[in-house]
A and B are shown apart, each in its own frame.
With several copies, the nearest count.
Chain A
Amino acid sequence: MLLIRPLVDRDLDALYAMAEQAGKGLTSLPADRGLLQQKIDLAGNSFNQRCAPEAALYLFALEDTATGQAVGISGIQARVGRDEVFYNYRLSVTVNASRELGVHVRTPTLQLSNDMTDVSEICSLLLADTYKGGGNGLLLSRCRFLFLDDFREQFSEKIFAEMRGVSDTEGNNPLWDALGSKFFDMAFSEADRLSGMGNKSFIAELMPKYPIYLSMLPSSARSVIGCVHANTAPALNMLQAEGFNFNGLVDIFDGGPVVETFIDNIRTVRETVGRTVTITDTPVAADVPVTERVIVANRSMQHFRATTLPLTCVNADTIELPQDVAAALQVQAGDTVRLAPLKDSGPLPRQSFKAPQ
């Protein structure tokens, strides 16, 4: 069984291995044991509500229960820009027009922005190569929306995600080459790494503060602004299907887009339903296709668990859980669980979920 649960200390090795495998693309999880351990500690404090809600970082592990190993990770940062300053460029337009001369020129313009400050971010999605496919990525990503919905008071109404920008096989990014490199005396990967380590004062110190008129940059740089790395395209598609949209902000280094939505508009949140648990002895069919599976999550913060089950387990008011699944989810007969389609437009009755207060 593949099970979502809070990330814990014993996941450090697996996490380090995944971070190393991911390479330079994932700056929020650098392959640095000390830093990763700090993140695990913070996640532990977050799920156990031992830190300020605004400082929380919820990290979810995808565990293969057969081995007890974490094979994937995903996260929610409760608020960004509180400890450090959170920077984006806003892709804006400057219009200059002279009626007298009949000239009307639109200049795309990058303006330094801190506008995501205090907003909740979904982040840090990693999945071991051998577990890719079969809806595991979907489970890792979507389980967060059920969590967000159940614990809304911990998060902002708006949720965003930063998408990795374009780079070539050597890790070069045309926007960095044309813009960042002129101001930062370092390689893109180094700037990205420093930023990922949470050291952002160098950005305040070195970053150009005045707007950048894109017509002055080469077309190679202009063309990647707001574009995602090929590896990230599936993640972007998934988020778009969930209702996330490009909000006009891009990464200051690589120009990758920020997508955002409001919790209420997230498809998984809109489509989630509740069911009462019943326990069954019938074993679960193993090879059910992704389109016929649903995500099932318990309603605990501290002991959050989620997995997937075939749609056939779902009845009008109840869901039948085999004993081992119920144990894994830490629920008993009579408890409520939340369900959501695993895949876009998956089969579930359109009925909104009202959490019992």
Chain B
Amino acid sequence: MWLVRPVTAEDIEPILTFAETHTRALPSTLPHEREALAGRIKESCAAFAGEHGAKHLARFLFVLEHVDSHEIKGVAGIDARAGNGQPFYNYRRDELIHASHELGISRRVEALYPSHSLTDCTLLCALVIVEELRGTQAFELLSRARLLFIAGHREWFAARTVVELQGIQHSDGSVPFWDSLGRHFFNMDFATADRHSAQLSKTFIAELMPPNPIYVTLLSEAAQQALGVAHPATAGNLQLLQREGFGAGPYVDIFDGGPVLEARTDSLHSVAVSRRKILRGSADADGPLWLLAAGEGSHFRCTLTPVGEMLDAALKVPIDTWRRLGGDTGDSVRGLPL
């Protein structure tokens, strides 16, 4: 059985090992260095404790823990405000029509405009899970637990929520969109830029990014094909997010051209459909599977559980579900059918 809970200071060793093993290709998702990771965990603890300041610059990190072994098998995050106080960079795709009335020519010309429009949206980020759990209910638990957290702490988050999906990267590590665009200006490979992006202030992007719009037709064929396309490995996540109500808008990642999914936070399925219920015990371990969360802030827990009986204001769940959630009969929980 699986549990999602806030990261704690004690998790640093297992996460370091985990990050080293599972985020080699995308170091930006989780820091690989102890100090950086410790900082990130500390930030998260403060965030869960509600220490946000006026600007709601909270960065939450969740872990997926195996209930019996206590092993950490996945990590996921929420940045309450994308950019975390700095500009959040994207390209916005837009088309211009170059038409000559006299010559009877009309051509759609697509351009990429540097944009910071998604700055201060809520960002789902840092999702990593061990390979064997991809596509399982545990993966869904890890990803959607965040939405239940948002639902339970709605005032901490923005009106819109976005997710960046990894773009096309070939098995040799090359990223066609980067190779056709960013590489010329940043003078580094994709992995380096990705790492800097995670670790440094965004000053280097302001300094190195080409300041004017980019004509898509001047990108390489491969880069044009990769524009706005998610990496095949994200297919499961993409479907899950689409079921939640996320859709691709005009924004793409400036580094790999991957799509940015957007949704109104209040319209997200898990936010809109989940309900507060009172926790009641059930001897029965059968019943439809629910996503169930309990606890405020640092005490947040989320798990999957069969629901024995659903009453108007209460849910009957097995006792060990209580334990996992750190709750007791009479507690208020939030959940929805999986």
* A interface residues with partner B (beta carbon < 8 Å): 85, 94, 96-98, 100-101, 103, 105, 107, 112, 178-179, 182-186, 194, 199, 201-202, 204-213, 215-217
Whether A208 contacts B215 in the complex (CB less than 8 A), given A183-B107, A183-B109, A213-B184, comes out as: yes
Closest to B202 in A: A205
Taking a contact as CB atoms closer than 8 A, the residue among B103, B200, B215 that contacts A182 in the complex is B215
- Assembly CA distance A236 to B196 (angstroms): 45
Which chain B positions have C-beta within 8 A of A183?
98, 107, 109, 217
Chain B residue at smallest Cβ distance from A97:
B207
In the complex the two chains form, is B209's CB within 8 Å of A96's CB?
A: yes
B100 within 8 A of A: yes
Q: Which residues of B contact A (CB under 8 A)?
A: 98-103, 105, 107, 109, 111, 180-181, 184-188, 196, 200, 203-204, 206-215, 217-219
Q: Which residues of A contact B107 (CB under 8 A)?
A: 183, 185, 206
- Can you list 25 A-B contacts (CB < 8 A)? A97-B207, A98-B203, A100-B203, A103-B187, A105-B185, A107-B185, A107-B210, A112-B211, A182-B215, A182-B217, A182-B218, A184-B105, A186-B103, A194-B103, A202-B102, A204-B207, A205-B99, A205-B203, A205-B206, A206-B98, A206-B99, A209-B211, A210-B212, A215-B185, A217-B218
Inside 8 A of A186's CB, which chain B residues have their CB? 103, 105
In the assembly, what is the distance between CA of A179 and CA of B105, in Å?
A: 17
Interchain nearest-CB distance for B203 vs A (Å): 6
- At the interface, is chain A mostly helix, strand, loop or mixed? mixed
> Known interface pairs A183-B98, A185-B105, A185-B107. Does A213 touch B203 (Cβ–Cβ under 8 Å)?
no
Q: Chain B's nearest CB lies how many Å from the CB of A342?
A: 45
Contact of A94 with B211 in the complex, beta carbons under 8 Å: yes
Residues from chain B with a CB closer than 8 A to the CB of A202 are 100, 102-103, 105
CA distance A105 to B109 in the complex (A): 26
Contacts of B99 in A (CB 8 A): 205-206
B223 to A: closest C-beta gap in Å: 10
Indicate if the CB atoms of A96 and B210 lie closer than 8 Å. Answer: yes
In the bound assembly, the distance between CA atoms of A94 and B207 in angstroms comes to 11
Closest chain A CB from B2 CB (angstroms): 40
Q: Which residues of B contact A85 (CB under 8 A)?
A: 207
Nearest chain A CB to B212 CB, angstrom units? 5
A105 touches B212 (CB 8 A): no
Tell me whether B100 and A205 are in contact (CB under 8 A).
yes
Are A210's CB and B215's CB within 8 A?
Answer: yes
Q: Which residues of A sit under 8 angstroms from B200, Cβ to Cβ?
A: 100-101
Of the residues B98, B111, B184, contact of A216 by C-beta under 8 Å: B184
The 4 closest A-B pairs by CB, nearest first: A209-B211, A215-B184, A205-B100, A182-B217
Q: In the bound complex, do residue A208 and residue B207 qualify as a contact, i.e. CB atoms below 8 Å apart?
A: no
Query: A204: shortest Cβ distance to chain B, in Å?
Result: 5
Q: Known contacts A213-B214, A216-B181; can you find 7 more A-B pairs with CB under 8 A?
A: A101-B196, A201-B203, A202-B103, A205-B207, A206-B98, A212-B218, A216-B180
User: Do the beta carbons of A208 and B109 come within 8 Å of each other?
Assistant: yes
A210, B208: Cα distance in complex, Å: 16
- Known contacts A182-B217, A206-B105, A213 near B207 by CB under 8 Å: no
